[in-house]
Amino acid sequence: MTRLYDDPATFTEDMVTGFVAAHPSYVRQVPGGVVRAKRPRQGKVAVVTGGGSGHYPAFCGVVGPGFADGSVIGNVFTSPSADDAYSVGRAVDRGAGVVFSFGNYAGDNMNFGLAVERLERDGIRAHNVVVTDDVASAPAAEQNKRRGVVGDFVVFKIASAAAEEGYDFDEVVRVAEHANARTRSLGVAFDGCTLPGQDKPLFEVPEGRMGLGLGIHGEPGVSEREMPSASELAKILVDGLLAEAPETGSRRVTAILNGLGATKYEELFVVWGTVSRLLAEAGVEVVAPEVGELVTSLDMAGCSLTLTWLDDELERLWQAPADTPAYRKGNVELAAADAAVEDEELPELPEKVAVVAPPEGQATAATVVQGLRAIADLLHDKEEELGRLDAIAGDGDHGRGMTRGSAAAIEAAEEAAKQGVGPAAVLVAAGDAWAAKAGGTSGVLWGAALRSFGDLLPDHRAALPGDLVAGASAALAAVQRLGRAELGDKTLVDALVPFVEALRSEVDGGASGREAWARAAEVATDAAAKTADLRPRTGRARPLAERSVGTPDPGATSLALALTRIGEVLAGDRKDEQK
Ligand code: ADP
Ligand code: MG
């Protein structure tokens, strides 16, 4: 159980408040996360960790000299938003760029990906190093699909030490990717974990059984078996990882035997006794291992073993001193720490200035607001239905996410429109609010789609049918760039591609914007219905793909509903004009 909280809805914020109050000499809070209390020297590459919370000491516990410059903090087991990552990135940049590193999850990839794009637009170099160490989550041939688990800790540590030593941007990225390529983890669970405010665990392992290869958010494991003894478990973990050893020729590893939250240090030491003997018998030398809790999963019972095959460079960086709230190593009489500046003001986020648009732009903006209002009302009504669709093979949150996202979007859009801005600025405000508030994959994609659509709507003249085609194409491009889904993967892309194609051919054939939109929305509706025949090949529904056959994809369904509703708004608009 997670027993202590005031309000489950503010659990993460309340946790961060207490964390910062406990460690003022190490960290200070910024929107979206924390950064070092003392700013490092100018010219140092910044390394930022992050992800959902619920994994302490990962990730905010390792901010300090020798380790991370900042940490982006999402809600429990939930990706932080692009805004969060961007804000932390801005705060830590010292003119040499920002390297984000995090475990491989769709939401994190998309949100950190968007943050990188925004930082680069500001002239700040940025790059994502995605950790993929969990051998149970995909076969060796598809290492880039593997989840990131405790390997995060090794990769962050090594990248951070490199930045502290003075490596330049490209070299920090290189060594972080090198460390990831040589890192493997395998985990087991004996019991699930419970989110704050919930009375049932996210998953359960039957009494006397053990789940092998579960994810750190309770993702299903590869197999279940009888509970082993400590030394049997040590053998399962060591054999499992040695079978997956990267081809390096190295016989030296560092190791982490990690407790997931409800497995005690004493138990871990009992297991470690056998792990270290087995590794020695296999001719593998262990350098500076860690046994303890480094990446937890709330109160999950279980543990994992991580091995990183070292070379001289990786060993030196792993051994380098670090001084952070949760992790201290060696003697940090760092030159870097001496040069660090205490109490220096952090840079302000660039102010969003409202550029007042000419009347034509304001008129288009008003139509956009009307459309967003109509979508928010519609999605509010459809919340339960969309949730039910998503519960069949996904996690059931699609209705809730779409309602929250669209409600936040219309609020932000109305606020922006009041200041007299054009359609692009209204859609940027709406998209960012949608992505920040919705949670879930679809929220990030909708946020990016609205932003990209808006970029192509003019401020200085009325929107033409061709602008709608250009906007819709840009929205599709953003969705595919971020989500990497192809046609047939059973996602909202299966409704959006036919929509954009139909819109284009209608406009090319001379239809007005509203006629073209209405007909394209019909095409999208048909296409969304046809996704019932498909098996999901990406996203949260992938592991339960078979179960989803016969049910249309929730994201494609909600998209088709929204597109149809916008078509009605455009048509209604015309009636008003004729009056
Ligand atoms: P989550 O899957 O994170 O719980 P939602 O439930 O809100 O998010 O949204 C699920 C929908 O998101 C799916 O039905 C699918 O249409 C869409 N989706 C998931 N992954 C992708 C992707 N990579 N590209 C495009 N759409 C996706
Ligand atoms: Mg979902």
- DSSP letter string, 192-231: ----TT-SS-SS---TTEEEES--TT----SEEEEPPPHH
Q: What is the pLDDT of residues 114-160, one digit of tens each?
A: 999 999 999 999 999 999 999 999 999 999 999 999 999 999 999 99
State how far the Cα of 99 lies from the Cα of 70, in Å rounded to an integer: 10
Pick the CATH number of 359-578 from 1.10.150.450, 2.60.40.2310, 1.25.40.340, 1.10.8.640: 1.25.40.340
Residues 6+ apart with CB under 8 A from 44: 69, 94, 96, 163, 164, 166, 336
State how far the Cα of 202 lies from the Cα of 210, in Å rounded to an integer: 16
Helix, strand, or coil (residue 433): helix
State how far the Cα of 22 lies from the Cα of 24, in Å rounded to an integer: 6
pLDDT of residue 412: 97
DSSP assignment letter at 37: S
Query: Is 217 an active-site residue?
Result: yes
Greatest alpha-carbon pair distance for the chain in Å reads: 87
pTM for the structure as a whole: 0.87
Type and span of the H or E element at 359: helix 359-393
- Pick from 201, 107, 109: which is nearest to 397 by CA? 107
Ligand nearest to the CA of 555: 1
Q: What is the pLDDT of residues 391-442, one digit of tens each?
A: 888 888 899 999 999 999 999 999 999 999 999 999 999 999 999 888 788 9
In this structure, the residues whose C-beta lies within 6 A of any atom of ligand 1 are 390, 394-395, 397-398, 401, 440-442, 445, 479, 483-485, 491-493, 538-540, 553-556
* CB burial readout 166-203, b (16+ within 10 A) else e: ebebeebbebbbbbbebbbbbbbbbbbbbbbeeeebbb
SS (H, E, C) 293-310: CCCCCCCEEEEEEEEEEC
- Give residue 559 CA to ligand 1 midpoint distance, Å: 11
pLDDT of residue 2: 86
- For residues 339 and 74, which has the higher predicted lDDT (pLDDT)? 74
CB 77 within 8 A of CB 36: no
Q: Where are the alpha helices (DSSP H) in 394-464?
A: 398-418, 423-438, 440-455
> Angle, to 10 degrees, between the axis of helix 440-455 and the axis of helix 465-483?
140
pLDDT of residue 343: 65
Choose the residue to mutate in 492, 549, 551 for probing ligand 1, maximizing ligand atoms within 8 Å of C-beta: 492
Number of helical (H) and strand (E) elements in the chain, helices listed first: 18, 17
Residues 6+ apart with CB under 8 A from 428: 416, 450, 451, 454
Strand partners, 329: 322
On the CB side of 215, CA atoms within 13 Å amount to: 17
Distances (CA, A) of 531 to 478, 490, 538: 21, 6, 14
CB 220 within 8 A of CB 280: no
Q: Whose CA is nearest to atom 15 of ligand 1?
A: 491
State how far the Cα of 492 lies from the Cα of 495, in Å rounded to an integer: 5
Mean pLDDT of the region 190-209: 91
pLDDT of residue 342: 63
If you search the block for the tokens 């497995």, which residue do you land on?
A: 263
pLDDT of residue 577: 45
What does residue 374 show for φ and ψ, rounded to 5 degrees? Answer: -65, -40
Q: Check pLDDT > 90 for residue 240.
A: yes
Q: Check pLDDT > 80 for residue 496.
A: yes
Q: How confident is the model at residue 337 (pLDDT cuts 50, 70, 90)?
A: low
Ligand nearest to the CA of 395: 2
Which CATH topology does 8-324 take? Answer: Rossmann fold (3.40.50)
β-bridge pairing 126-131 and 98-103? parallel
CB 71 within 8 A of CB 60: yes
**What are 475's two structure tokens?**
């929205």
- Pick from 69, 73, 68, 75: which is nearest to 84 by CA? 73
State how far the Cα of 14 lies from the Cα of 73, in Å rounded to an integer: 12
State how far the Cα of 182 lies from the Cα of 186, in Å rounded to an integer: 14
Q: What is the pLDDT of residues 19-58, one digit of tens each?
A: 999 999 999 999 999 999 999 999 999 999 999 999 999 9
* CB burial readout 486-522, b (16+ within 10 A) else e: eeebbbbbbbbbbbbbbbbebbeeebebbbbbbbbbe
pLDDT of residue 355: 86
Q: Check pLDDT > 50 for residue 576.
A: no
> Angle, to 10 degrees, between the axis of helix 151-165 and the axis of helix 169-181?
150
Domain span(s) for CATH 3.40.50.10440 in the chain: 8-324
pLDDT of residue 345: 84
Q: Which atom of ligand 1 is nearest to the CA of 480?
A: 24
Domain span(s) for CATH 1.25.40.340 in the chain: 359-578
Q: Which atom of ligand 1 is nearest to the CA of 494?
A: 16
Catalytic residue among 23, 217, 380, 398: 217
- For residues 541 and 494, which has the higher predicted lDDT (pLDDT)? 494
- Give residue 147 CA to ligand 1 midpoint distance, Å: 18
Strand partners, 323: 328
Q: Which atom of ligand 1 is nearest to the CA of 483?
A: 23
- Give residue 440 CA to ligand 1 midpoint distance, Å: 7
